[in-house]
Structure 1
Amino acid sequence: MSNLTRRAAFALAGLAATTPALNTPAAAATDIRMALKPFACNLDTWFMDTPFAGRFALAAKIGFTQVEFWPVRRAKNEESMDATKARALLDSNGLTLTQYAPAAPNFSDPANHDALTAMIREAIADSAILGCKAITLVGHHIVDGMSREAMLSGYTTGLMRIAPLLEQAGLTALIEPFNTVNHQGHLLNGSRPAVAMLHAVNSPMIKLQWDFYHMQLEDGDLIEKFTAAIDQVGYVQLGDVPGRHQPGTGEVNHVNLLKAIRAAGYKGPMGLEYYPLDNDYKRAVSDAMALSIAAGFA
């Protein structure tokens, strides 16, 4: 709290003690929304004790204007959801969807490229309903019996195959590398193989999902690597190490990091794909506001 301005401290004082809903004067609520404006709340990692459909309202009440989530199509035995239902929830809560992650086939294996094409066509239709211009695309599990070179070739070829569809639709696919510490069994880890691959694909609609949680675990040297690869960055996500909790709970200096992100030329939203420490959403919002103010965004 020591890093907050008096204006932000006033706004935070209105947060309810035991619930993420706001109970603030209009001016205080405006201050919260302004401080949270650079961020998109991830609805799959926040408010996990609430059914998915109810998380839209919680994100709006707490002060977010942008959200992201994983798949939009959810099975009935989990919780029925599709693009039309999600769009209604977004609109009724005044929210914008920055990106989401449709389930992708493992297209490191060329045998799955037809399934990849079908999934992209479905995502294009869903994205038009959602009013969303970006999807996260993974699908790079290790394939038993295939060499790394063959898998890299298969994944690259798959991206080249879907590039014309994405370009025609104006939809960006965000390729997300993981890490080998707690996301074993994946082809793309850290920035280097993914950056090289995207240079080879050379499509304006295929970029990197730069998740700093994964990059810290796999690469380190966060600012220099991000700055060097800024031409291939399409979206940014945050999460501290260790624990994948909010910035300020771990080892990364996120104030310096966010200043460097903007200095490198990235002007888009930053996804908060982390698990608020102890499910304390009041503290998570306080920490996000403090970061925004200290980094000069609010």
Structure 2
Amino acid sequence: MKRRNFIKNVSLGAAAGLTSVSSVNAYGLRPDADSTFNMNYAPHFGMFKGHAGDDFIDQLDFMYEKGFRSLEDNGMMGRPKEVQEKIGNHLAKLGMDMGVFVLDKGGNAANTFASGKKENTEVFLEGCRRAVETAKRVNAKWTTVVPGDFDRSLPMDIQTANVIEALRKGCEILEPHGLVMVLEPLSDTPNLFLRTSTQTYMICKAVDSPSCKVLYDVYHMQKNEGHLIVNIDHCWDEIAYFQIGDNPGRKEPGTGEINYLNVFKHIHDKGYRGIMGMEHGNAHPGKEGEEKLIEAYRKADAFM
């Protein structure tokens, strides 16, 4: 039996902590669902499969009941249109927001903007057009873009100019639809062109569009540059989105070296009320691991 249907049909006393049919809302959710968080954290599909199963709608219901009010799904562009629409409709019913999805540009590394090759830019621009259609189906406002690898045959400044030019062309497509590409500096490999928050800040300033901003992934920036709070302040006016993951291990807050209680408090105190994407794995398997993950966020979010 689907979990949401079970909740709808359970009677008072049938299971501890569940309420009667009359006190369950139209979406099968209890009015005594867990409280929300101080920050707007966004889980991804699969994070709570132990409790909610494989069905995307059941997973969304579980996220909502546990206090989460947003979803992040990097692979949204690769899902069938009817699945995108189903997810978007259910998010709207729950009053949940859609976080980032990755803009498909033919491979983050191989299809580099740094080379200045026309064919690479055209693949990116076609990805922008398709991203606009995906965003409409799920009511998304942000899409992640990674420029790709260095082109070590060219001087660094020429590569930077090539990246800026490609991004400006992409913004011409995205800006009329209110879709923002968030550029993400990464630590996955030293071959990637975009590596630091300040480099990304400079590029966003040069592109000079409301549709080109910084995605500050705390995990990657801890690895690449450290000084998290200092660099968040340096880049603040170009940051549109945050992602989370502790280091080492890229798991939930509290499993590594990052003082997420202080980081979250700092971001909150500066006035950020946007989405915080939970782009990490679970430190422990199964239902117990999922419960520990939720508790980790409760602890890191307890700064007020």
Tell whether the structures are fold-level matches, with TM greater than 0.5: yes
- CA gap 1:38/1:140 in 2 versus in 1, 3 angstroms: same
Q: Which runs of 5+ in 1 are unaligned?
A: 1-21, 75-80
State the identity as a percent: 22
Q: Is there any run of 5+ residues in structure 2 with no aligned partner, and where?
A: 1-14, 20-28
| Greater Cα shift, 161-170 or 137-146 | 137-146
State the TM-score, normalized to the length of structure 2.
0.78
Q: Distance in 1 between matches of 2:220 and 2:49?
A: 21
CA RMSD between the two structures: 2.7
Q: 1:127 offset after TM fit, Å?
A: 0.6
Q: Could you say which residue in structure 2 is the equivalent of 1:101?
A: 102
Is 1:284 the counterpart of 2:282? The answer is no
What residue is the counterpart of 1:14 in the other structure? none
Would you say the 8 A contact 1:47–1:55 is kept in 2? no
Contact 1:84 1:129 (C-alpha < 8 Å) held by counterparts: no
2:186 paired with 1:178: yes
Distance change in 2, residues 1:272/1:24 (3 Å): farther
Evaluate the alpha carbon distance shift between residue 228 and residue 73 of structure 1 in structure 2; reply closer, same or farther with a 3 A threshold. Answer: closer
Assess if the C-alpha contact under 8 Å between 1:213 and 1:238 holds in 2.
Answer: yes
- Report how far residue 230 of structure 1 moved: 0.8
Q: Which moved more, 1:30-39 or 1:126-135?
A: 30-39
Find the structure with the greater CA-based Rg. Answer: 2
* Preserved contact between residue 83 and residue 130 of structure 1 (Cα < 8 Å): no
In 1, the alpha carbon distance for the partners of 2:202 and 2:83 equals: 38
Contact 1:210 1:235 in 2 (8 A): yes
What letter matches 1:100 in structure 2? F
Secondary structure in 1 aligned to 2:127?
Answer: helix
C-alpha deviation, 1:258, in angstroms? 0.7
Output the amino acid matched with 2:86.
A
Alignment of 1:1-298 (within 5 A): 24-25=17-18, 30=32, 32-35=34-37, 38-43=40-45, 46-47=47-48, 54-62=55-63, 63=66, 64-74=68-78, 81-92=79-90, 94=94, 95-105=96-106, 106=111, 107-111=113-117, 112-143=120-151, 145-179=153-187, 182-279=188-285, 280-292=289-301, 294-296=302-304
Structure 1 pair 190/25, CA: closer, same or farther in 2 (3 Å)? farther
Residues 36, 289 of structure 1: 8 Å contact kept: no
TM-score normalized with structure 1 length: 0.80
Aligned residues: 265
- Name the amino acid aligned to 2:80: D
**Change in 2 beyond 3 A, CA 1:157/1:177:** same
CA contact (8 A) 1:41 1:59 kept: no
Match of 2:9 in 1: none
Q: Which residue of 1 aligns with 2:24?
A: none
